[in-house]
Amino acid sequence: MFVLINLKTYPCDPVAVAEAAAAVDADSDATVAVAPQAAHLDRVAATGVETWAQHVSPVASGSHTGSTLAETVADAGAVGTLCNHSERRLRLADIDASLDAADRAGLGTVVCANNPDQVAAAAALGPDAVAVEPPELIGTGTPVSGADPGVVEEAVAAAARVDPGVDVYCGAGISTGDDLVAARELGADGVLLASGVAKAADPEAALEGLVAPV
């Protein structure tokens, strides 16, 4: 299972979380990655943990003040990027352009979507993975796999109909090993989480509990 921790802009120590993630990754069969703020990418990557950006802009080099250039993200040590998170929504054309930018820079891609219909639309754009995340459950501690398991099953089926090569991740409310097992049993290839680790008093212990069933 792939475990991607989105640190958002939480007031956590990104290096400490990254070091914890690297340690858990080394001792488990799960692949654990961290998505810090853009300004922390190089520091997180230096820990050796698999590092992802939270966003890349749908632009190439040029006059784009305030944008996050895919090539700069890659230079900082990231190997992939999230796209279209509920807190950073993009139009469909911009999702497509962001995926093109990521591909240009050699970055892996996960496109976030609210529901199975959006998962199908996102999968048609050719990302490496899609993450189904009902926005009303994000940050609640209530996993979508428990609140509405049908959404995950339908998202897996929707992606498979469009492109069987696109992985499906389960997001929103993931925090425990039981959540990870439920996501796997529903057909997900991985999980996307944030507060369950980023806000934990002991991130390493939280991650160990999360991946223990793997």
In order, the DSSP letters of 126-166 are --SEEEE--GGGTTSS--HHHH-HHHHHHHHHHHHHH-TTS
pLDDT for 58: 97
Report the C-alpha gap between 72 and 140 in whole angstroms. 33
Which pTM was predicted?
0.94
Q: Which of 51-65, 73-87, 168-182 has the lowest mean pLDDT?
A: 168-182
Asked whether residue 43 is assigned to any structural domain, the reply reads: yes
Domain that holds residue 159: 2-189+203-211
Domain total for the chain?
1
Asked whether residue 168 is assigned to any structural domain, the reply reads: yes
Give the active site residues: 85, 133
Asked whether residue 165 is assigned to any structural domain, the reply reads: yes
Task: Kindly tell me if the per-residue pLDDT of 148 is higher than 90.
Answer: no
Report the C-alpha gap between 167 and 89 in whole angstroms. 20
Q: What is the mean pLDDT of residues 54-81?
A: 97
Asked whether residue 40 is assigned to any structural domain, the reply reads: yes
Asked whether residue 197 is assigned to any structural domain, the reply reads: no
Which domain CATH number covers 79? Answer: 3.20.20.70
